[in-house]
Amino acid sequence: MSVALAAGRQGDVTGRVSAFAPARVNLIGDHTDYTGGLACPMAVDLGTTVTLDPGGDAVRLVSDATGTAADVPLDVADVASVTPPWARYVAGVVALLRPPAGGTGVVASTVPLGAGLSSSASLELAVALALGFAGTPLDLARLGQAAEHLATGTPTGLLDQVASACGRAGHAMVVDFTTLDVDHVPLPDGVEVVVVDSGQRRELATTAYAERRAQCAAAADLIGPLATATEADAESLADPVLRRRARHVVTENARVRAFATALRAGDAVEAGRLMLASHASLATDFEVSVPALDGRVGELRQTPGVYGARMTGGGFGGCVVALTEPGAVRAGWHVRAVAGAARLVP
């Protein structure tokens, strides 16, 4: 998003404002967004609340989780060098939004940091709304993604921000990253979504993510857009690494479609089977899993009442997500699907 495009989107901001943006869990469809593919995330009842008293020429926010402060001048230029590191997400939003006034306030988060539940996307969106952003949910998502790129330099897709911006209570959503259509799908009664931390913090994620993205682009140069490629197209690739990467993306898109059909039919058994197949594809063909994630998925699939489980998000650590009968799994966060990011006050 260009600065010019972002300018002028601010609404009227007077008096204390407060905004909440949810974290997300991706039920299926990972490493598909940046090739225009499909994913099925949901916004969850963990998230970030930003409360702000507008005014002044800087955005000053204290994090209740760390006790540290972000102090970002409205004319911030070098976003990636702002400290502490979490303040870079605030700085990215400020640099793109260029609000007419700053503010002083607090960031309160219930998202486990660095666990792969998009704590950064929820921070970006809550900050933007608190600073007066007034566009569509998709515009908000694009702003958050652009801020993330400025903050981290990692060429992430739009999954995390769309999930946070476009949530609906009781629903997952199928997102088509070519058209940006968002199709909400009700979660069947009598299933629980449980997120279990692998305990491994995400390492090498930046380098490996950019490498995977480049490999998908190289495959698409040879066989056309992966979003419309067939399995036969993927198998025709001579390079074994590109072949595996393309095969993951093509089969994952098909699994997202089948998963949505299964959810609509209330078929949790089939949905769980697809989640396990997705994990295997991410581990074997896309090579973004790690033993800690494989181990959690292996334990969960042996647990009575678990329909399926898979790593969720970028991989190399973070969390797994399981679809279960109520009460089947005690550990982890039992998350509910909630509405998307919104201003709470005023």
**Interface residues toward ligand GLA, by CB under 6 A:** 30-31, 33-34, 156-157, 159-160, 313-314
Whether 164 and 313 have beta carbons less than 8 Å apart is answered as no
Sign of the dihedral defined by the CA atoms of residues 199, 201, 207, 209, in that order: positive
Give yes or no: 285 in active site: no
DSSP-assigned letter for residue 189: T
Backbone angles phi, psi at 262, to 5 degrees: -65, -45
Q: How far apart are CA 256 and CA 71, in angstroms?
A: 41
**Which pairing describes strands 192-197 and 103-109: parallel, antiparallel, or unpaired?**
unpaired
Least Å distance between CB 18 and ligand GLA? 26
Q: What does the DSSP assignment read for 16-52?
A: -EEEEEEEEEEEE--S-GGGT-EEEEEEEEEEEEEEE
Cβ proximity to ligand GLA: between 23 and 271 the closer is 23
Tell me the helices (H) and strands (E) count for the chain, helix number first. Answer: 10, 12
Output the smallest distance, CB 33 to ligand GLA, in A. 5
Tokens of 291: 């033993």
* Nearest residue (CB) to ligand GLA, 105 versus 157: 157
Q: Which is nearer to ligand GLA, 10 or 316 (CB)?
A: 316
Q: Mapping DSSP to helix (H, G, I), strand (E, B) and coil, where does residue 134 land?
A: coil
Q: Judged by CB, which is closer to ligand GLA: 272, or 313? A: 313
Decide whether 267 or 287 has the Cβ nearer to ligand GLA.
Answer: 287
Please state, in angstroms and rounded to a whole number, the distance separating the CA atoms of residues 164 and 49.
13
Rounded Cα gap, residues 272 and 144, in angstroms: 31
Q: Give me the residues paired with residue 41 across strands.
A: 26
Q: How many CB atoms lie within 10 A of CB 178?
A: 12
Minimum CB–partner distance for residue 205 and ligand GLA (Å): 8
Min CB(256)–ligand GLA separation in Å: 11
| Closest C-alpha among 107, 165, 119, 118 to residue 140 | 165
Q: How far is the CB of 259 from ligand GLA (least distance, A)?
A: 14
Catalytic residue among 160, 189, 197, 285: 160
Bond before 84 cis per omega within 30 degrees:
yes
| Nearest CA among 238, 144, 203, 181 for reference residue 36 | 181
Closer of 316 and 333 to ligand GLA (Cβ):
316
Minimum gap (Å) between residue 77 Cβ and ligand GLA:
24
List, by residue number, the catalytic residues. 160
